[in-house]
A and B are shown apart, each in its own frame.
Chain A
Amino acid sequence: MAKIPKKQLETLGGTIVHNLPFPLDTSPEALVWLKKMAPIQIEQPYSIVYLHSYAQDSPWFAGLSNKKILANKDPETGYTYATPRGHDMYTGDETDWIDITERKAAVHAFTVCHFGSEAFLEETPYVLVLVKFEGVNTLLLSRLMGIDPEQATLDWIGMELKPQFLRNSKIKPTDVYFIPA
């Protein structure tokens, strides 16, 4: 029969307490002081790994890994989405895949991020662009390299671009980025 533990396991680590004052006297009069007490704040680490599915958009990522930019096109109207979309928002029909890698591309809008989310802080300053492809109705969010982020100018809008692909695909939308054409 397994031994039933009587004592809670003691471990190192946990919350580091720098100071936790408390009245020596716990009479109701003394405890009134507690309403003036500063809040206790502790760290609560939280980490999680998701199993994320790209689902019906998966071919787009497979395309990037093979140095191809795919788009979705409504089979009837021809309305074309640069960012994948399994069904057309106007007809409701399932879209088809097409290859737009060789299409002319240009900056539609941009910014230079000097700050960012924690995950991207080390990459600052980085340039975000919404890319317009010739003959495609919607845009694609991407990164722009090959320009000086400290020299941002509205003249960048309209600049022709060409795609570049990571040699080591990460199966992320950043597998493609753009540089001036």
Chain B
Amino acid sequence: MRPVYAISGGVSKFAKSRPDKSFQALVKEAYDYAIDDLGLSFPVFTDNVDGSVASYFSDHFSRQLMAAILAQDYLGLCPKPSHRVEGGGATGGLCFQEAWKSIASGHMDVVVAYGFETMSHVETWKGNEFIALASDVSFDYPVGGFYSGYYAMMVTRHMKEFGTTVEQMAHVSVKNHLNAFHNPYAQKRNRYTIQDVRDATMVAWPLTRLDICVMSDGAAATVLASEEGIKKLEKAGAKIPLPLVKVTGIGRGTDAMRMSDRPHVDFDDFIQNYATQQEKDSQETMKYYQDLWNHGTRYPGVHSFRAGRTAGNMAYKHAAIHDPLTELDFIELHDAYTSSEIQTYEDLGLCRYGEGGPFAASGKAFLPNIEYGLDLADEPVCPVNPSGGLIACGHPVGATGLMQAVFAIWQLQGSIHKHFKDKTLQVKDARKGAIHSHAGTGTYVTVSILEKE
């Protein structure tokens, strides 16, 4: 496969509601920014882009089937090839990887991946209903019908299994909201305390409003290119932002839609099929897991995301990463819930299964130059969601995974200051980062690794 570079990106302002623009115009807001960052005009970019991939989750929110072709048309990209991808909350991550495939395969040289969601067109509770239709409509939706409830069930099991606490979850909320204070694209830019998070309105026990991301309107776009594509754009007058950012790892995983169907595998199965190489190489970790299993833990059950672990392992193998905590300089991961950020620490091998709670409160996933008002025992090692993540930026589903890609590109280019007008969130000497996109209760998960050349 050919090398693929993520050369530019743009993000619209995410907001609870953007009635000022149609979804097509929202996409153009992000798309124009990405083109402008390449130093190209709209017509010249149009002449040089080979095709696109479009990302949006739900036809219900816009009440518009084939919305992607309306965006393609609005961007002036017809008759170039395109297709829409959909995989719940992971739609944006899937879109990014589909664009990568088009280039890695040699099929195209310059591809734009764009995504959007306009969730404000219905009341929040109707929106919850639409999202809950991404659960089994025969067996899950009629009983629960509420995604926050599904995630809350997963975390009660995680708490029971591993001793994870609501205060540890609240650390994630405090971190992500305060990181977002320095991100002009974010919509919830606030300083909170652990107590604020716990005192917020209870949504689904034990998750409060400050543990949960908000439905939003927004769009994002990234431009990917081969070496030949970069040359082509430069010949057309582009000034590709340097250093170049290369996509070096791609991973995906899946799991059963119905949480109830997920397996509870034994120790040998877990070690053989799911343990990271780093875990397998450590006798101490093998003993740790044996002890967990001796106490009754089974995998993944409803407390862990097998799809996330599978995607991470695949991407790490592709990118030759052995110790993600020390080899990755930052991660933008899918924190639709504080609890799922903690579960994802474990899936991505930043810590062992069962240690996500203490890891969240340790300080290792925080930024070094922000005073969070928390008593953190450890120095930052690998900042997670330096942008503020979904919890603070918002979660316009089809845009979110691409938003993560854009922020990762900017981190690796060292251009956070240029785009945010604030350098606080720039991870110093960032060389390697991961983006992680996750669909409903862990059904589809993507992990992509980006590296500075």
**Contact indicator A85/B146 (Cβ below 8 Å):** no
Measured between beta carbons, the chain A residues less than 8 angstroms from B294 are none
Contact with A along B132-170 (1 / 0, CB 8 A): 100001111011111011001110110110000000000
Do residues A57 and B138 form an inter-chain contact, with CB atoms below 8 A?
Answer: yes
| A140–B153 CA distance with the chains assembled, in angstroms | 12
On chain A, the residues within 8 Å of B303 by CB distance are: 109
Q: Is A166 an interface residue (CB 8 A)?
A: no
Residues of B within 8 A of A174 (CB): 142-143
Q: How many positions in chain B have a CB within 8 Å of any CB in the partner chain?
A: 44
Asked if B261 contacts A114 (CB within 8 A), the reply is no
Q: How far is the CA of A4 from the CA of B176 in the complex (A)?
A: 65
A111 touches B142 (CB 8 A): no
A39 to B21, CA, bound (A): 8
Query: B260 contacts A139, CB within 8 Å?
Result: yes
User: Are B129 and A118 in touch, CB under 8 angstroms?
Assistant: yes
A98 interface residue per 8 A CB criterion:
no
Contact B142 A83, beta carbon cutoff 8 Å: no
Residues of chain A lying within 8 A (CB to CB) of residue B204: 111-115
Decide if B19 touches A128 in the complex (CB within 8 Å). Answer: no
Asked whether A128 lies within 8 Å of B137 as measured between CB atoms, the reply is no
Say yes or no for B384: interface residue by CB 8 A criterion. Answer: no
What chain A residues lie within 8 Å of B144 (beta carbons)? 113, 116, 120, 128, 141
B70 to chain A, nearest CB (A): 16
B149 touches A111 (CB 8 A): yes
> Is the C-beta of B20 less than 8 angstroms from some C-beta in chain A?
yes
Given contacts A121-B125, A130-B153, A157-B157, contact A115 B203 (CB under 8 A): yes
* Interface mask (A144-168 → B, CB under 8 Å = 1, otherwise 0): 0000000010100100000000000
Residue with the greatest number of chain A CB neighbours at <10 A, chosen from B126, B146, B264 = B146
Task: Tell me if A130 and B137 are in contact (CB < 8 A).
Answer: no
User: Which residues of the partner chain A approach B157 to less than 8 Å between Cβ atoms?
Assistant: 108-109, 130, 157
Q: Does B259 make an interface contact (CB < 8 A)?
A: yes
Determine the residue in chain B with the shortest Cβ distance to A107: B156
Determine whether B63 belongs to the interface, using a CB cutoff of 8 Å to chain A.
yes
Whether B370 sits at the interface, judged by CB under 8 Å, is: no
Per-residue interface assignment for chain B, residues 199 to 237, with 1 indicating a CB less than 8 Å from any chain A CB and 0 otherwise: 001111111000000000000000000000000000000
Q: Is the CB of B302 within 8 A of A109?
A: yes
Give which listed residue, A46, A119, A140, contacts B260 with CB less than 8 A: A140
Give complex CA distance A82, B260 in Å: 8
Any chain A CB within 8 A of the CB of B428?
Answer: no
In the complex, what residue of chain B is closest to A82 when comparing beta carbons? B260
Does residue A31 face the partner (Cβ distance < 8 Å to B)?
no
The docked-state distance in angstroms from the alpha carbon of A142 to that of B143 is 6
Q: A66 within 8 Å of B by Cβ?
A: no
Q: Is A32 an interface residue (CB 8 A)?
A: no
Contact digits for B234-269, partner A, Cβ 8 Å, 1 yes 0 no: 000000000000000000000010111111100000
Q: Given A83-B258, A108-B302, A139-B302: A113 and B148 within 8 A (CB)?
A: yes
A108 and B148 alpha carbons, distance in the complex (Å): 17
Bound-state Cα–Cα, A89 to B258, Å: 13
Contact, CB under 8 Å: A152 / B206? yes
Tell me, yes or no, whether A143 is within 8 Å of chain B by CB.
yes
Q: Would A154 and B160 count as touching, CB distance under 8 A? A: yes
* Distance of A120 Cα from B206 Cα, bound (Å): 19
> Which A residues between 35 and 50 are near B, CB-CB below 8 angstroms?
38-39, 41, 44, 46
Partner of A110 from B125, B146, B156, B203 at Cβ < 8 Å: B156
How far is A117 from B135 in the complex, measured between Cα atoms in Å? 13
On whether the beta carbons of A157 and B152 are closer than 8 Å, the reply is no
**B contact residues around A46 at 8 Å (CB):** 63
Structural contact, B153 and A109, CB atoms closer than 8 A: yes
Question: Are B145 and A119 in contact, with the CB atoms below 8 A?
Answer: yes
Q: Which residue of A lies closest to B131 (CB)?
A: A117
- Whether A113 contacts B156 by the Cβ 8 Å rule is no
Partner of B159, one of A129, A143, A154: A154
Distance (whole angstroms) from the CB of B363 to the closest CB of chain A: 26
Residue A138 is within 8 A (CB to CB) of chain B in the complex = yes
The answer on a CB contact under 8 Å between A130 and B260 is yes
- Give the residues in chain A near B128, CB-CB below 8 Å: 115-118
Contacts of A173 in B (CB 8 A): 138-139, 142-143
- Is B123 among interface residues, defined by CB-CB distance under 8 A? yes
Q: By the criterion CB–CB under 8 Å, are B153 and A128 in contact?
A: yes
Chain B hits for A143, CB < 8 A: 143
Tell me the bound Cα distance from A76 to B204 in angstroms.
Answer: 40
Q: Chain B contacts of A172 at CB under 8 A?
A: 142
CB contacts (< 8 Å) of B140 on chain A: these are 141
Q: Is the CB of A141 within 8 A of B129?
A: no
A129 surroundings in chain B (CB, below 8 A): 153
Q: Cβ of B142: which chain A residues have Cβ within 8 Å of it?
A: 172-174
* Given A46-B63, A112-B204, A152-B205, 15 more pairs with CB closer than 8 A: A41-B19, A52-B138, A111-B204, A111-B207, A113-B148, A113-B203, A115-B148, A116-B125, A116-B145, A116-B146, A117-B125, A130-B259, A141-B259, A142-B143, A157-B156
12 A-B pairs with C-beta separation under 8 A: A83-B258, A111-B153, A114-B201, A114-B204, A118-B125, A118-B126, A119-B129, A121-B125, A128-B149, A141-B258, A154-B156, A173-B138
Q: Interface residues, chain A, CB within 8 Å of chain B?
A: 38-39, 41, 44, 46, 52, 54, 57, 81-85, 89, 108-121, 128-130, 137-143, 152, 154, 157, 172-174
The 7 closest A-B pairs by CB, nearest first: A111-B152, A117-B129, A139-B260, A109-B157, A118-B125, A112-B205, A117-B145
